Amino acid sequence: MTLAREAVLEGVGVHSGKPSRLRLIPSAAGRIVFRRADLGRESVLDPRKTEAKNASCFRDGDFEILTLEHLLAALYALGVGSLDVELNAAEVPIMDGSAAPFVRAVERAGLRPLGVIWVPIDIREEGRVEDGDASVVFEPNAGLKVSYEIEYAHPAVGRQAVSLEIDAATFAAEVAPARTYGFISDLERFRSLGLALGSSLENTIGLDDEKVVNPPLRFPDEFVRHKVLDLVGDLALLGRPVRGHFRARRAGHVLHQKVVRSLLNRV
């Protein structure tokens, strides 16, 4: 499907700190194409040209799009597989730190079916990627299911686990509103590396040594639900629906993208 009409969102890049205007333009091409209006260039999203740098990023030579995951998660969950995505900067706007603004934009624009059938990727046997005590296991399932577990030695987080069958309704209600989060103690280091320059308590759940500094949370387990959001967004890099159960533990974008490449090598 594509959108019935154009949608526009404006905000700031969470890492670049720069203003960003995003246009979601209906397309019948059957693929997602990113366009940089400021560069006058475009490129088809290719999972083999993505990387993880505190977010999921797409690079095609000197053409780059940063922080893809929240937008892609919303498009994937709502079934949008054909779209021109135009930006006037290098980074997708962070909005409120969740995928909910993108979900609302798609819902307002409406959906239009195309004469294109996206053949799902069916996981037929178990696979695993891991790095130390972090892992993602994937196995056969009738639809997309994500089970995620995180653990932080922080009184506001601790151990959290959630397991959800992902469809449009579940994603919109149970996953999309979950915001990104960060530790105040890490902020100076990140900014010295040119990261989190647009991060604020308006778009990030902030954690000091003891508590959430900008309550209330949207879910008691909002932290792990945001990790589910990130994984769905990274699976969207496949460019096709995937049917399988993904069980992630203490993972992140690096392992998510290793899963994507593992699956691409199987099809």
pLDDT at 54 over 90: no
The per-residue pLDDT for 194 is: 83
Mean pLDDT value of segment 72-78: 97
pLDDT recorded at residue 46: 87
Q: Which of 226, 234, 221, 228 shows the shortest CA–CA distance to 180?
A: 226
Which pLDDT belongs to residue 48?
A: 87
Annotation says 253 is catalytic: yes
Euclidean distance between CA atoms 18 and 127, whole angstroms? 39
> pLDDT value at position 47?
86
Q: What is the pLDDT of residue 267?
A: 66
Total Cβ atoms within 10 A of residue 69: 25
Asked whether residue 118 carries a pLDDT value surpassing 90, the answer given is no
How confident is the prediction for the chain on average, in pLDDT? 94
Work out the percent of the chain whose per-residue pLDDT is above 70: 100
Number of alpha carbons in the 13 Å side-chain half-sphere of residue 265: 7
On the 0-12 / 13-18 / 19+ scale of CB atoms within 10 A, 95 is buried
> Is the peptide bond prior to 216 cis by the omega test (within 30 degrees of 0)?
yes
Tell me the CATH number for domain 2-112: 3.30.230.20
**The pTM of the whole model exceeds 0.85:** yes
pLDDT category at 115 given cuts 50, 70, 90 is confident
Q: Which of 15, 226, 253, 256 is catalytic?
A: 253
Q: Which of 233, 256, 261 is nearest to 246 (CA)?
A: 256
pLDDT bin (cut points 50, 70, 90) of residue 236 is very high
Burial class (CB within 10 angstroms; exposed 0-12, middle 13-18, buried 19+) of 53: middle
Task: Give Cα 80 distance to the centre of its chain.
Answer: 14
Domain ranges (residues) in the chain: 2-112, 121-264
Answer whether 90's CB lies under 8 Å from 12's CB. no
Least confident of 48-62, 97-111, 149-163, 205-219: 48-62
C-beta neighbour count of 194 within 10 angstroms: 10
pLDDT score at 4 = 98
For the chain, counts of helices (H) and of strands (E) = 6, 18
What CATH number labels 121-264? 3.30.1700.10
